[in-house]
Amino acid sequence: MPATRLLFIRHGETDWNVEGRLQGQRDIALNAKGRWQAAEAGRRALGLLKRHGLNAADLSFVASPLGRTRDTMERARLGMGLAPTPYGIDDRLLEFDFGDWEGMTWPEIKVRDPDRHKARKAAKWGFVPPGGESYAMLAGRVKPWLEEIVGDTVVVAHGGVARVLMVLVGAVSNLVAPAVEVHQGRVLLFQGDRFSWV
């Protein structure tokens, strides 16, 4: 992990989040609550920066390419007192691919694919959904991006990306990370080998 601050914002809520549907790389829009959460995350980030004597305009900004993350980024930037753009887009920050399971809920998967559902519960980090990716594969995609960061950065991405970052910086093990809740509307501050919620 570079000697920088990484301010991570998970995209705001979508209707699929409310329904418990696996979004993965599907392009699902924010709902009204999600739009509010995005602005709130920007305000929280601004408060954090002020406490550290930092200017939001001096940071780098990068997002996953999906609409829900770009909308979150633009609303968060407004919440930080900045124009909605510019910011970078990086495909490596896409959520991991749930493959054939995207659009389904966990109870639906348990009924339709009970053996794989059980296998995933036994070993979440390495499990690959049919036609999809594992956390381990996602970590392999995110690691080069993390190593390229220079300077304090605001990133808007997904819950899975946050969990692999926790492992990549050495804050938690890959056994623990898949169960960590990643909040919407808040900021996850990574610094060194630690993370904390703002």
Q: How confident is the prediction along the chain (198 residues), in pLDDT tens digits per residue? A: 345 899 999 999 999 999 999 999 999 999 999 999 999 999 999 999 999 899 999 999 999 999 999 999 999 999 999 999 999 999 999 999 999 999 999 999 999 999 999 999 999 999 999 999 999 999 999 999 999 998 999 999 999 999 999 999 999 999 999 999 999 989 999 999 999 999
Of the candidates 13, 40, 74, 95, the residue annotated as catalytic is: 95
Phi and psi at 170, nearest 5°, equal 85, 20
- For residues 9 and 45, the answer to whether their CB atoms sit within 8 Å is yes
- As assigned by CATH, the class of the 5-197 domain is alpha beta
> In the chain, what are the domain boundaries?
5-197
Q: How far apart are CA 70 and CA 87, in angstroms?
A: 9
Q: What are phi and psi of 61, to 5 degrees?
A: -130, 135
| Tokens describing residue 187 | 């900021």
What was the pLDDT predicted at 180?
96
Name the strands in the sheet holding 5-10, side by side, starting at the edge strand that comes first in the sequence. 88-89, 60-63, 153-157, 5-10, 188-191, 194-197
At 1 the pLDDT is: 37
Q: Indicate the burial class of 148 (C-beta count within 10 angstroms; 0-12, 13-18, 19 or more).
A: exposed
pLDDT score of 2: 43
Q: Is 11 a catalytic residue?
A: yes
